[in-house]
């Protein structure tokens, strides 16, 4: 999906520069330029901070405090041995486990970590190996009996802002 967005943006004139921003200059509330690790300086009229779990670090380069922190959230995509006979809307369990349909025979489920829900290092992609067995699968199979027998699953990240506890 991101590749298609990038390709379409480039077709419409967006220039993609692969580099690292090392400093952000401002005049009042307006971002005026970006200094890159290559030594180049780019004059800008606006900047979109799309740094995900590193958004606070990028904002700090412009002397802006942004309370976004990397928090561990698990997102699994799985296939049921026996798909449901109807669409599955977003369903949120009181435990925080949430799930929905993801295509014809795939389902997406997410959950918070086991234990403390604390800020983690943005480069820490470690996982709690037993979260599927301890939390996710028991809740799924209790709610939907067809989810007792599943095939595959994978996990990913989310970014949280603590202002409203909203996924970014």
Encode the chain in three state secondary structure: CHHHHHHHHHHCCCCCCCCCEEEEEEECCEEEEEEECCCCEEECCCCCCCCHHHHHHHHHCCCCCCCEEEECCEEEEEEECCCCCCCCCCEECCCCCEEEECCCCEEEEEECCCCCCCECCCCCCCCCCCHHHHHHHHHHHHHCHHHHCECCCCCCCEEEECCCCEEC
For 50-100, the pLDDT digits (tens) are 888 889 999 999 999 998 888 888 888 888 888 898 999 999 999 999 999
Mean pLDDT of the residues in the chain: 86
* Average pLDDT score over residue span 106-117: 87
Residue 78 CA to residue 103 CA, distance in Å, equals 11
| Pairing mode, strands 41-43 and 68-71 | unpaired
* Average pLDDT score over residue span 143-168: 63
Residue 154: predicted pLDDT? 60
158 — pLDDT class (breaks 50, 70, 90): low
Range in 75-89, 101-115, 124-138, 153-167 with the lowest mean pLDDT: 153-167
Taking alpha carbons only, the member of 74, 39, 69 closest to residue 51 is: 69
* Average pLDDT score over residue span 30-58: 93
Residue 96 CA to residue 78 CA, distance in Å, equals 18
* Average pLDDT score over residue span 142-150: 89
* 155 has pLDDT over 80: no
> Taking the model in full, what pTM does it have?
0.65
* 22 has pLDDT over 90: yes
Residue 166: predicted pLDDT? 43
What are phi and psi for residue 23, nearest 5 degrees? -155, 150
């Amino acid at each position: 999906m991101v590749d298609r967005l990038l390709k379409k943006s480039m077709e419409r004139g967006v220039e993609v520069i692969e580099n690292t921003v090392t400093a952000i200059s401002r005049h009042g509330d307006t971002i005026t330029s970006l200094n890159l690790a290559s030594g180049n300086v780019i004059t800008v009229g606006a900047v979109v901070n799309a740094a995900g779990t590193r958004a606070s670090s990028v904002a700090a380069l412009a002397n802006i405090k942004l309370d976004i922190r990397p928090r561990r959230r698990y997102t699994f995509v799985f296939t049921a041995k026996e798909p449901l006979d109807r669409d599955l809307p977003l369903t949120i369990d009181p435990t925080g486990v949430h799930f929905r349909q993801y295509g014809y025979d795939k389902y997406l489920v997410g959950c918070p970590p086991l234990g403390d829900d604390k800020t983690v290092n943005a480069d820490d992609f470690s996982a709690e190996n037993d979260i599927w067995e301890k939390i996710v699968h028991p809740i799924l199979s209790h709610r939907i009996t067809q989810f007792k027998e599943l095939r595959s699953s994978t996990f990913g990240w989310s970014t949280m802002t603590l202002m409203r506890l909203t996924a970014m």
